[in-house]
Amino acid sequence: MIVVAVLIMIGVTVANQIAGGTYSDDFDLTGTESAEGTTLLEQHDVIRSGNSAWIVFAVDSGQLSSHHDAIEQAVKNLDAVDHVITASDPLSDATTSSNGRVAYSTVQFDHNPGSLGETFVDDIDDAVQPARAADVDVNYTGSLGQAAEPAPDDRRSELIGIGVAVLVLLAAFGSVLAAGLPIVTSGLGVVTGLGLLGLLATQVTFGTTATTIAVMIGLGVGIDYALFITTRFRQLMLEGVDRVDAAGRTVSTSGRSVIIAACTVIIALMGLYTVGITFIGKLGLAAALGVAVAVITAITVAPALLGLIGRRIDRWRVREPVAEHSTDTSSDTWRRYADLLARHPWRFLAAGVAVAGLLAVPVFWMELGHIDDGASARGTTTRSAYDDITSGFGVGTNGQFTVVVQPSSSATQDQTHELSTDVHRALENTTGVASATPAVPSQDGAVLVSTVTPSSRPQAAATDDLLNRLRDDTLPTVLSGSGATSYVTGAMATALDFRDIVSERLPQVIGVVVTAAFLLLLVTFRSPVLALKAAILNLLSITAAYGVIVAVFQWGWGSNLLGLDETVPIESYVPVIMFAIVFGLSMDYEVFLLSRIREAWTATGDTQESVATGIAVTARVISSAALIMMSVFFAFLVSDVAVIKILALGLGISVLIDATIIRLLVVPSAMFILGRRCWWLPRWLDRLLPHLDPERAPQPVPPRRPALG
């Protein structure tokens, strides 16, 4: 098993290096106004393609006109690059700043630059080399800028997460081998998962953050799953069970819990497809692939390694090994804690809900939006291009809108000209507009096109307000009675339409994921009360995590400590991604805790005793697992990408809240209060539900017969 797993890892990694796919942020918003406007521009040859970007030329002093020949040569070279349809003249009056130091060329591509690979960016770099050789700064915006940025290097984050995990595991197990096994197993799974994701990317276009999300989730759950399996195996070793039997019994008990837990995470992640935007669904698919590989590795490679190590699991000790639970409950700290909860359940329940509720308060001020390139790390090509455009043309130029007006088919030439004048006047007089170009007709005269520059930066709420004002007030008013139709499109409008779709469908995603998880827990634990309780409490922990990211990133409470020099809105797809991941991971700890509680209840029939036993048995390992998961997530705060920072903080905080306030405070308190009602199940439902024992009670193993002869 070990050899096969290593060969598979090597095979998919090599195959990915040779023939792996690329990653790019490609949105399909068919049916939105921005998409329809772009289609109209393409149909009437105003633009040749919806894939475009700016190449920005800038000098610190002097005039770009003094470098005319070098820039002109660069543009000619760009026109000759494969996949470039056209490159406009940057030194025209419309695209050169008033001080003559900044200019930009609009380059149109036949494909998304992010899907064309590194060689395409190299070709672009070679094309603009004459301008750079003349001491002109050249930077890229949009999809070309994203393609030109180096691929996210997650190694630093991975090393930080793994380093903390090693320390936690050493403290938990007291043994180098026991601590190292979950690290080795999860590392094998992550590398294999990345190779498989790269190969899948040859057929499916994943977003640029897909690999980072897959690594974050795959590494975290991989260590956790291997930790739970190693813990059960080690307990059986301390009880004197044969190593082979112990490995088998581990898989048949904790292995079942791990599989069920992984299924809840995968279901939650695949629920992202219900948003209806394939970009988001594919991010969920990438993360689900990481989880699937992690759980397969945990239930195959981990038992194989454990069976190989056997009783040597506690060699190279840093302290004396401690059993998973102590028989002397008077000296068991967690058992005493559980008994304290049992004596005052209402107080602890109220305290836990109050703390989580307080953390959730900022969520009422959450602003979903688009994080512009001004939040990118300094020195990156996208940030440099953004700053050059801002200094040369004003901050709103980075988020322009394109207004497309289609006159009535019966309109005369004079009526169209009058309409053009009225539209231009109305756009210029709209609050929040810095400037608007004349509404000029396309070559075939079928549509009128104007470029509107906001007075605010792209991620500002005022820019969002301007889009709504143009669509709902300015254009309907000026076109009233003319029979003309209008569309506001462009990259900025597309980003805001994307946000609106995600916001509108977030309740739908929540409903689907919560329902699916409820049904899985209902089948697993055969208790509608426990399944409903888990769903409600998980929603509470997620809402609290949302509140924290709003306070940090929108309100700026400590955001400078995370490497951001400004406040940013919450990227539109972050809440839905966070919900799927957090809900799934929360169910992980719920399954592990309830599995042991149900195992004890099946044996004793005493709910209070079962809950206390479950906490005493699992608290240490759940706390260790949560600390590891938090460390993995928080390690990604060093990323240069603002979206990754938001996800990393949100996921890490959610695990902290879930593993402490929810799992060790609210859940047991609620179960103490509910008592035997926790296990209520109508007879008709009992007959319908299949039997899935998450941690089937281990059966006695007959002694091995001595070999004959």
Asked if the model's pLDDT at residue 571 lies above 90, the reply is: no
Average pLDDT of the segment spanning 308-326? 65
Lowest mean pLDDT among 105-109, 332-336, 397-401: 332-336
Residue 135: predicted pLDDT: 92
Integer Cα distance of 327 and 304 in angstroms? 29
- Would you state the pLDDT for residue 603? 83
The 10s digit of each residue's pLDDT in 109-143 is: 888 787 777 889 999 999 999 999 999 999 999 88
Closest Cα partner for 206 from 116, 284, 143?
284
Structure tokens at 600: 């004890």
What tokens appear for 303 in the block? 């038992």
Decide if 1-23+151-324 and 328-384+504-695 have a common fold.
yes
Alpha-carbon distances, residue 187 vs 116, 194, 254, 391 (angstroms): 30, 11, 20, 46
Nearest to 90 by CA among 100, 268, 585: 100
Higher pLDDT among residues 456 and 628, named by residue: 456
**CATH topology (fold) of 49-148:** Alpha-Beta Plaits (3.30.70)
pLDDT tens for each residue of 479-500: 988 889 999 998 889 889 988 8
d(CA 431, CA 416): 25
CATH superfamily of this structure's domain 1-23+151-324: Multidrug efflux transporter AcrB transmembrane domain (1.20.1640.10)
**pLDDT band at 318; cut points 50, 70, 90:** low
Joined tokens for residue 306 = 């454990």
Domain ranges for the chain: 1-23+151-324, 49-148, 328-384+504-695, 401-489
Q: Tell me, what DSSP letter sits at residue 433?
A: E
Q: How far is CA 112 from CA 22, 108, 198, 410, in A?
A: 11, 10, 18, 37
Residue 617 exposure: Cα atoms within 13 Å on the Cβ side: 21
Give residue 238's pLDDT: 76
Buried b (16+ CB within 10 A) or exposed e, 119-145: ebbebbeebbebbeebebbbbbbbbbb
Label the pairing between strands 368-369 and 570-571: parallel
By the 8 A CB rule, do 142 and 381 touch?
no
DSSP 115: G
Interval 353-380: pLDDT, tens:
999 999 999 999 998 888 888 888 888 8
Distance CA 654, CA 659 (A): 8
d(CA 164, CA 385): 38
- Tell me the mean pLDDT in the region 407-424: 88
pTM reported for the whole predicted model: 0.79
CA 246 – CA 596 distance, rounded (Å): 18
Here the tokens at position 22 are 């690329």
- 407 vs 409: CA distance, rounded Å: 6
User: What is the phi/psi pair of residue 116, to 5°?
Assistant: -100, 0
The predicted pLDDT at position 590 comes to: 78
328-384+504-695 — its CATH code?
1.20.1640.10
- CA–CA distance, 65 with 541 (Å, rounded to integer): 58
Return the CATH architecture of domain 401-489: 2-Layer Sandwich (3.30)
Please give the biggest Cα pair distance in the chain: 109
